[in-house]
Amino acid sequence: MNHFFIVGRVDRITQNKKREGGKGGSAMILLKYGPEREVSNGPVEFVNAVVIRVPAFRFEAIGSRLEEGAIVSVTGHVQGIVKGGMGETYMTQELVADNIRANDLDFLFEDEDPETV
């Protein structure tokens, strides 16, 4: 019931540093899955992109093939997280990658200019 599947182009990769005790070190990828949307300067902007967290052990396994501009398919799950700061806490969600396939789906985007995806 808690599963997602998405195909897109990796726009940015940010790897977090490991904290003391060995925790952390996961990577965050910005995955674009559609054309650029027009900026409306309204209170809400819609974008065809999502941020997906790649756990450290998965990133270590695929990191050498995961690069900006690569076409990837990602399956994963949604995870609720509680964040805090300045005396307040709130709940939000993140997409977490369970499996990533890289560089074998370029044919899906071969007619598109990478700069406009």
pLDDT at position 110: 58
Q: Judge whether 13 lies within some domain.
A: yes
Is residue 28 within 8 A of residue 11, CB to CB? The reply is no
Residue 55 structural domain: 4-37+45-112
Domain with residue 77: its CATH number is 2.40.50.140
Q: Judge whether 117 lies within some domain.
A: no
Q: Judge whether 108 lies within some domain.
A: yes
pLDDT at position 96: 96
Q: Judge whether 88 lies within some domain.
A: yes
The span from the CA of 112 to the CA of 48, in Å, is 15
In sequence order, the 6+-apart residues with CB closer than 8 A to the CB of 44 are: none
Q: Judge whether 16 lies within some domain.
A: yes
pLDDT at position 60: 85
Q: Judge whether 10 lies within some domain.
A: yes
Tell me how far the alpha carbon of residue 102 is from its chain's centroid: 13
Q: Judge whether 76 lies within some domain.
A: yes
Q: Judge whether 105 lies within some domain.
A: yes
Q: What is the pTM of this model?
A: 0.77
For 39-97, how does the pLDDT look when each residue is reduced to its tens digit (9 = 90+)?
A: 888 888 888 999 999 999 888 888 778 889 988 999 999 999 998 878 899 999 999 99
Query: Domain count of the chain?
Result: 1
